[in-house]
Amino acid sequence: MNTAATFPKIPIGISSCLLGEEVRYNGGHKRNAYIVQTLGDYFEFNPFCPEVAIGMGVPREPIRLVRQGDDIRCVGTVDPTLDVTDKLIDTAEEQKAWHRHIYGYILKKDSPSCGMERVKLYRREHPERDGVGLYAQRLMQNFPHLPVEEEGRLGDAVLRENFVQRVFIYHRWRTLLQQGATWKALTRFHAQHKMILMSRSQSKARELGRFLSESPDMPVDQLCSEYIARLTAILKTNASRKNHVNVLQHIQGYLKKELDGDDKKELSESIEQYRLGLLPLIVPITLLRHHFRKNPTPYIDDSFYMHPHPKELMLLNKL
């Protein structure tokens, strides 16, 4: 059964042009087929174009980021007296009501309003790629734990899987808060995601686990605030092949008494071939799933590591 048909879509924000809306300065769009046709099965898109929202119209004069002394302004490329800096920041503030109800955001790369990073920032007509779109910057300041990515970076298999996984984790986190967070509930949430965190950073995952185990009497609001900040920092780190191998071997240890010699050899060889880059991650994970179906283990069954997102997205096939 297709997972998309069994679960409600997760709401995320997105730059309108990426869905094919003709809102760009030249009257065009930047429709992204992967986003629309694949992610669209699982995400409910909330499109928004800040430049249109502030009344610039379509078509319109292009704008760019310019450093003026210690300040960064967003001005017209033809008419530098056209300054929309404050309007872009204000419109980001005005969208906070619906931003609170989304679980991720996909932005248009290189945009002086929506670019997440490496946007051209002009200094005396000489651009350097170290700017951030003004709308995007305020969005990320207002919601520092919200998973945010650019459509250009989604072409990278590692970055794509990282973003999608973060959206699903953030959705589970917010669901936990809505149901009423307790230290016990948070401890289970951490156990469910521990191996995902270990694939990012084993040392930081252990530190977060120690923090949680030592904080049962901390006020819940403070505990949640500290936990999500540390969780977000770890998840922003891309998983490494070396860390994945360590996690896979750790999971394999739960089967040491259940598997015969041939099964152990096959599983070990698949992990080693993944380590060498000869097989994608999905191969050893599929073998592990098979063995745990025959030999269920509550801790492993409750973990999201081998089921981080819908299998139809095939994100583990490229890692």
**105 band by pLDDT with thresholds 50, 70 and 90:** very high
229: tokens are 């900040």
pLDDT in tens, 221-269: 999 999 999 999 999 999 999 999 999 999 999 999 999 999 999 999 9
pLDDT in tens, 28-83: 999 999 999 999 999 999 999 999 999 999 999 999 999 998 899 999 999 989 99
For residue 145, is pLDDT > 60? Answer: yes
Nearest-angstrom CA–CA distance, 313 and 254: 27
- First-last CA distance in the chain: 24
pLDDT in tens, 298-315: 999 999 999 999 999 999
- 3-state SS string for 240-295: CHHHHHHHHHHHHHHHCCCCCHHHHHHHHHHHHHHHCCCCCCHHHHHHHHHHHHHC
Pair type for strands 126-131 and 63-68:
unpaired
**Bond before 59 cis per omega within 30 degrees:** yes
Smallest Cα–Cα separation from 63: which of 8, 131, 5, 147?
A: 131
162: tokens are 């990282």
Nearest-angstrom CA–CA distance, 3 and 6: 5
For the chain, percent of residues with pLDDT exceeding 70: 98
Nearest-angstrom CA–CA distance, 60 and 52: 9
